[in-house]
Amino acid sequence: GQDYVMDSQEVVYCSSDGLSVELAFNATKDITYINYMYVSPSPEDKLWIYANSNNPYGEVIFSVNTNMVTEIHSVKEGFDSNDSCEDFEQESRKFSLMTLFLSCIPVMFTSSFLYQRKNFIPSMVLSFYVGLTGVVATSYLSLHPDVPNDLYDVIKWWLAVSGFALLCLMSYLSLTQRITSAVMSWGIFTFGVSYFAGTMMVIEIFSNFNDGGDWWRWIVINIITFIPLIVVGISLGQMFLLALGAIGLMMDVFRFTTQL
């Protein structure tokens, strides 16, 4: 049999007579790692190599005879990346649909029912909006389970756009006196926080915060969010909107002082 074997994890050199050394196995790009080797006794006289492979994917077994002829004997298949992705998408879609029909939609219907009762509960405005946001998120994941990373973009635009639209609606209902003060307070709280957080996420005001870049983001957020919240808060007499606007101005001051 072979007198000695030298293994560099990528290249295997063998000698059958103890004098001459020949290249027996040269790992190509498809072989990622040689795990271990075994020399079978006479009369077989073969070097067995157990390695990891990319093509075919999995664990492979080679043999090298005394003539330095390499032969593949078996492949222990690893997982199929395509099948794994498909399984992940199916599981993600199932989980999203279960959450949609067993949690988000029931929350919306329950909130709507309790709100429309004779002795309505004003806080149902918040729970209804949370359920509606859940419907948006789970619907997106059920339709596009292959790109879950884009859910952040969907949510930030949903919070900004829906928050703005519903704040306008609440302002109109308040000015026309078609809404109670309790419902108005809950609506201002829910949609004010949504718009405040959504616009900051969309504009990404904390992008490049430490290096002093992207000042235009702070100018825009003041024009479309901080200052309008203060103006609307004064017009409607809503202290919570004033507080949100004040928090925004305090963020401006902190941003300015950190760059001095």
* 58 pLDDT higher than 80: no
**Mean per-residue pLDDT for 178-187?**
91
Instruction: Identify the pLDDT of residue 84.
Output: 54
Q: Is the pTM of this model over 0.85?
A: no
Q: Which stretch of 20-24, 64-68, 133-137 has the lowest confidence by average pLDDT?
A: 20-24
3-class DSSP string for 39-50: ECCCCCCCEEEE
3-class DSSP string for the chain: CCCEEEECCCEEEEECCCCCCEEEEECCCCEEEEEEEEECCCCCCCEEEEEEEECCEEEEEEEECCCCCEEEEEEEECCCHHHHHHHHHHHHHHHHHHHHHHHHHHHHHHHHHHHHCCCCCCCHHHHHHHHHHHHHHHHHHHHCCCCHHHHHHHHHHHHHHHHHHHHHHHHHHHHCCCCCHHHHHHHHHHHHHHHHHHHHHHHCCCCCCCCCCCHHHHHHHHHHHHHHHHHHHHHHCCHHHHHHHHHHHHHHHHHHHHCC
* 245 pLDDT higher than 80: yes
Instruction: Identify the pLDDT of residue 79.
Output: 45
Q: What is the pLDDT of residues 64-104, one digit of tens each?
A: 777 767 776 665 544 454 555 667 778 888 999 999 999 99
